[in-house]
Chains A and B, each alone.
With several copies, the nearest count.
Chain A
Amino acid sequence: MSDLRFAPDEAEVERRVEALLFAAAGPLSAADIARRLPEGADVGRAIASLRARYQGRGVELECVADRWRFRTAPDLGFLMTEEREEPRRLSKAALETLAIIAYHQPVTRAEIESVRGVSISKGTLDLLLEMGFVRLRGRRRTPGRPVTYATADRFLEHFGLASLYDLPGAAEMKAAGLLDLSLPVGFEVPDPSRTGSEDEEDPIEDGEAPEFAQDFVGD
């Protein structure tokens, strides 16, 4: 173990700064580093030297807000992503929510919940937004100006639909054996391609996404 009292040479200061920056949980200022080194150690010089040493490597020393940290070279960011290979199964809740949004768009969260009979978890809408199946469409011109949801292009692509006109209606549901005669009168499958009158809504403005979606909007 090195002796703290013994003044380390330049190379040793550089090693120490390297180790400190590597192990730190966040960026360190020169003062943060100096505090952990023997008095008189030239931190600025060590940082400059390290910076040169890592220049062009897979890892670089970066300065953010007067603090220093290692981070992978910006051009290698693509390496840090991992493609998930297995197809994802939509949960029952997600599929049901998606179905309601598809048929009833534009629809508010409260309306989705009234059809489902249960409240939607934050994660469900998040997931649909994240997957690009659903988008925020506008704000209903009603008290509270609730956000409305609609399907996004990815939805049509995924289900092989040319447009919302092609979303199967009651006739197809019947043909698929999903609807039978016992269904109460008045059951109607709305035609989503016709209900989307823009007059009832204001557009969503930039940066005013509802709180629960802010992780995904703007990605």
Chain B
Amino acid sequence: MPEAFQPNLDFTAVEEVDARDAFVVDLEGYEGPLHVLLALARTQKVDLLKLSITKLAEQYLAFVHEARRRNFSLAADYLVMASWLAYLKSRLLLPRTEKGKADEPPAEVMAAALAFRLQKLEAMRKASEALMARPQLKRDVFTRGDPEATVIVPSDRIDASLYELMAAYVGQRRREQGRQYNPTQRIEAFALEEARDWLRDILPRLADWTPLVRVAPVRDEAEGPSQASFTASTLSASLELVKEGAMDVRQEKAFDEVWLKRRGRGLPLELTP
């Protein structure tokens, strides 16, 4: 069998992992420096409280070094941890007689704190594993597939008085009266086409500004469109003629009289407010 295909079934290989190989640590699974530290600490195979922080610091620094060698960009917090560990290591190696900065706890305390922190993370890691190992609903255990729905019998007591019933009735009848609408005649509108023809006919006579109401046809019979319709359609048609360049329309201010005027041939479109 060719050597290259020999699968490595020797599980002790995992235990022989050194700082350099620790780089195989899945960076996606272990999101931060603490996770990497924990993975490295496990390779020391000791109780986390007996961990050699000096050795761990060396392992971590080797890890960071390896990452750089491989041009693997590490997030800033990995580097912060690296410098903190380098500092901690140097202090741990100092003779005990030399004191650190006054406002700083002894190096041993800092090391113990780190070990404790790793222990906490380890505890949570184990806890999540223990949780996942429990029988889970709909994976390992199942509740009744076809529960019998509880029939809710509605309360007999209903909040509704006779007064409310009467009020509800009267309220609606009132609204109904308000809605009554009996159109007695067909509404006829002054058609837009007619309005346009009408305007074109009288256009020659609109040499001066003329109010809309005097341009619109005047209703002279009881039948036919209302005066409002005559006026409205004439206004609409006039706007179309403005667009065609045949006339100008102006209004001094809102709700004011609308004035119409024929546009002289060749005059530019007058933009009036």
Judge whether A85 is part of the interface by a CB distance below 8 angstroms.
yes
A117 and B153 form a contact (CB under 8 A): no
Q: Which of B130, B145, B162 contacts A22 (CB 8 A)?
A: B145
Judge whether B42 is part of the interface by a CB distance below 8 angstroms.
no
Chain A nearest CB, measured from B128 CB (Å): 4
Chain B nearest CB, measured from A25 CB (Å): 4
Across-interface contacts of B168 in A (CB, < 8 A): 92, 95-96, 98-99
- Which B residues, 165 to 190, have Cβ-Cβ distances below 8 Å to chain A? 165-177, 179
Across-interface contacts of B33 in A (CB, < 8 A): 117
Q: Which of A69, A74, A100, A167 contacts B146 (CB 8 A)?
A: A69
What is the size, in residues, of chain A's interface with B at 8 Å between Cβ atoms? 60
A23 and B112 form a contact (CB under 8 A): no
Judge whether A11 is part of the interface by a CB distance below 8 angstroms.
no
Nearest A residue to B124 by beta-carbon distance? A99
Nearest A residue to B135 by beta-carbon distance? A74
Q: Which of A41-49, A134-142, A172-180, A204-212 contacts the other chain?
A: A172-180
Nearest A residue to B143 by beta-carbon distance? A71
Q: B121, B134, B145, B157: which has the most chain A beta carbons within 10 Å?
A: B145
A25 and B139 form a contact (CB under 8 A): no
Chain B nearest CB, measured from A154 CB (Å): 9
B165 and A69 form a contact (CB under 8 A): no
A117 and B35 form a contact (CB under 8 A): yes
Chain A nearest CB, measured from B84 CB (Å): 9
Nearest A residue to B125 by beta-carbon distance? A96
A77 and B140 form a contact (CB under 8 A): yes
B31 and A176 form a contact (CB under 8 A): no
A23 and B148 form a contact (CB under 8 A): yes
A115 and B138 form a contact (CB under 8 A): no
B62-93 vs A, CB cutoff 8 Å, 1 = contact: the mask equals 00000000000000010000000000000000
Judge whether A52 is part of the interface by a CB distance below 8 angstroms.
no
- Which A residues, 155 to 185, have Cβ-Cβ distances below 8 Å to chain B? 157-161, 167-169, 172-173, 176, 178-179, 183-185
What is the size, in residues, of chain B's interface with A at 8 Å between Cβ atoms? 73
Chain B nearest CB, measured from A1 CB (Å): 9
B138 and A90 form a contact (CB under 8 A): no
Across-interface contacts of A179 in B (CB, < 8 A): 170
B145 and A25 form a contact (CB under 8 A): yes
Q: Which of B50-58, B103-111, B240-248 contacts the other chain?
A: B103-111
A118 and B136 form a contact (CB under 8 A): no
B137 and A158 form a contact (CB under 8 A): yes
Chain A nearest CB, measured from B172 CB (Å): 5
- Which B residues, 208 to 246, have Cβ-Cβ distances below 8 Å to chain A? none
Q: Which of B116, B139, B171 contacts A87 (CB 8 A)?
A: B139
A115 and B109 form a contact (CB under 8 A): no
A95 CA / B162 CA spacing, docked (Å): 10
Question: Known contacts A24-B147, A81-B150, A84-B139: does B155 contact A168 (CB below 8 Å)?
Answer: no
Q: Which 6 A-B pairs have the closest CB atoms?
A: A117-B34, A118-B32, A186-B105, A99-B169, A87-B157, A168-B130
User: Which residues of B are in contact with A by a Cβ distance under 8 Å?
Assistant: 29-35, 77, 104-105, 109-110, 112-114, 116-117, 119-121, 123-128, 130-132, 134-155, 157-177, 179
- Listed A/B pairs (20) with beta-carbon separation below 8 Å: A23-B148, A23-B150, A69-B146, A70-B143, A80-B149, A80-B150, A84-B142, A87-B158, A92-B168, A95-B160, A99-B169, A115-B173, A116-B176, A131-B158, A168-B127, A168-B162, A169-B127, A183-B116, A184-B112, A186-B110
Q: List 6 other contacts, CB 8 Å, given A87-B136, A95-B164, A178-B119.
A: A23-B143, A23-B147, A83-B153, A87-B159, A160-B135, A176-B119
